[in-house]
Structure 1
């Protein structure tokens, strides 16, 4: 996937940028801020759950 003029790998995307990686719109988030990191992760998780690309069972311990 290409973003911002370069190749982007979701595994190397910082937590605060995950929601941007998936193209989600929301209030601006700051890097190096624990709350904004958590919000970005939550937005991305909700998006993937709604699309069916992630399921609740993916969060269970194995």
Structure 2
């Protein structure tokens, strides 16, 4: 029964609001963080709403050729 509750909570978190998951966040240059974004980052979306945030850097990274 405990596994069923865990599964239902997981499905609810992944399907709620603007939750896109960690793959989408990482693909767009963000990192999933629990709680708060660190200094120099902003909340771009949620990996799993409302607990795990997708944080992106305030300054874009540049690649030198």
TM-score by length of 2: 0.28
In our comparison, the structure showing a higher alpha carbon Rg is: 2
Greater fraction of residues in helix: 1
Greater fraction of residues in strand: 2
Give the structure, 1 or 2, with the largest relative contact order (CA under 8 Å, sep 6 or more): 2
TM-score by length of 1: 0.29
